[in-house]
Structure 1
Amino acid sequence: MIRSRITRVERQTPTVVTLFFQWEKTVLPGQFIMVWAPGVGEVPMSLSHIQGEKGITIKSYGPTTEAIIKNKEGEYLFFRGPYGKPFTQTQGKRLIIGGGSGMAALRPLIHKESYGIISARNKSEILFSSLFSPGKATIMTDDGTAGKKGFPVDALKEMDLYPFDMIYVCGPEVMLNSVFQYIKNMGLKAEFSLERMMKCGIGVCDSCSISGFQLCKDGPVFQLNIMKNMEEFGVWKLTESGKRVKI
């Protein structure tokens, strides 16, 4: 287990914070660490900042993430990693599609040739839109309080996708599946960062299994063509107890 003092805490939205820390380790976009909250639990977190000062951007969705978010500057962050296969980086024209806190994993991919579709429930939950060059980010919100009312797939239907050298996607699985279903037969290059229940992060417990793939070792980033072989994607998932349930 690695420990590093938190150098600063930055609130991104009412429910999302970024914890910054020093760690002299090369981390690639899309890779994750297993973050431990002593006495509570351990969760996987993609790094939102990978150059120099490292950072994880967290939304509270349970006891462990809530405990991690409560850490203050000067306190220790406990973690292990990095784990997982990263995004394939291209220097060409990129389209970045992020839903909610899924933008955290995508943040390191944003550069001057990046276009973005950023979605959230409402205006206050939009992440990292200011990092895109003017005119290159489309905002979609469930309630229409920012940008357009709707979902990322609605924005895709109004775009010419063929000029993009790569499409990167991360967010809730329902959103991922709608994007996947729309683009899967277009002959585009795309990669998706998936989320599943993950306990060990090293391929032992199999809790993150999906159609025979383990997210912690085979992913969490998967190419579009591989996704076509995942019959469980968008349909089934495993609970903490190992029960297979519909999404």
Structure 2
Amino acid sequence: MSYEYATVSGVKEEGRGVRTLWFQWERKVEPGQFVMVWVPGLGEIPLSLSSTDHTKSITIKSFGPVSEAITRMSPGDRIYLRGPYGRPFTRPTGQYLLIGGGSGMASLRPMVGPRAHAIISARSKDDLIFRDAFQPGRVHVTTDDGSEGFKGNTVDFLRTFDLSGFTEIYVCGPERMMFSVYRELRSRQVNARVEFSLERLMKCGIGLCDSCSIGGYQLCRDGPVFSIDELDRMEEFGRSRLVESGRRITL
């Protein structure tokens, strides 16, 4: 597989254990698509871009050896990439809502615009990212411990929130959180177009290994963005997933 490299031009601390790495890369990337990021000697992982403009960025939290090595990068280091891959978000047509949990806000960050509203959730205020990217009055914060904004989880707040004015809703975060949002939106029969950005174990990124298969779809080729109607047909969503060893675990 062929890799390109870019040079890290800047690093920013976003929240507890979360960093954004900026770099110049000429490839066109649509919001919601992902790249495979390779660290020589360690391996590669899929990452959504948190900025898809001419200057691009990835926002990452350490969760294993490869991601840990990426979070330690500094300006001047090389970052190796291939892609972009996958199906992006549909472009919004009116007032739209982003629902992000934890570092899941990274894949939603390129969707921020003048018509965007957001519900951003995290365990604590120290884990919140990108809440300053929105216009005043258009972002609602929830924290599990109540250290900032609404005390409770995403769905606790969502149950109190009027969704009637939105033409699109975009969701990304931990799968249990997204599953709860999915059930809440289905119970309310919202009229908006709803899309979710999913995450699964991914080894090749191009549809060969089938490690990211979910409900008859390959996440790397058919996703990672799926409509709420497609989620209706995914019995595994929110319930189980494969781990590196090939064993299926319950979520």
Scaled by the length of structure 2, the TM-score of the pair is: 0.96
Separation (CA, whole Å) in 2 of partners of 1:131 and 1:6 = 22
Structure 1 unaligned regions, length at least 5: none
Structural RMSD (CA): 0.9
Matched, 1:60 2:65: no
- Offset from partner CA, 1:23-56 (integer Å, 9 cap, x none): 1111100000000111112110000011120100
- Offset from partner CA, 1:149-173 (integer Å, 9 cap, x none): 1111112111121210000000000
Hey, what does 2:238 align to over in structure 1? 234
Where do 1:95-134 residues align within 5 Å?
95-134=97-136
Q: What is the percentage of aligned positions where both structures have the same residue?
A: 51
- What amino acid is the match of 1:238? L
Structure 2 unaligned regions, length at least 5: none
SS at 1:74 equivalent:
coil
Hey, what does 1:82 align to over in structure 2? 84
Q: Which moved more, 1:3-12 or 1:98-107?
A: 3-12
Matched, 1:32 2:30: no
SS at 1:127 equivalent:
coil
CA drift at 1:187:
4.0
- What amino acid is the match of 2:63? Y
Matched, 1:206 2:210: yes
CA drift at 1:14:
2.6
Matched, 1:15 2:25: no
Separation (CA, whole Å) in 2 of partners of 1:164 and 1:187 = 9
Where do 1:146-185 residues align within 5 Å?
146-185=148-187
Q: Which moved more, 1:187-196 or 1:27-36?
A: 187-196
SS at 2:162 equivalent:
coil
- What amino acid is the match of 1:46? S
CA drift at 1:131:
1.1
Separation (CA, whole Å) in 2 of partners of 1:107 and 1:197 = 22
- What amino acid is the match of 1:169? V
Matched, 1:2 2:4: yes
Separation (CA, whole Å) in 2 of partners of 1:94 and 1:39 = 42
Does the 8 A contact of 2:163 with 2:190 survive in 1? no
SS at 1:18 equivalent:
strand
- Offset from partner CA, 1:61-116 (integer Å, 9 cap, x none): 11110011111110100110000000001131111000000000000111121110
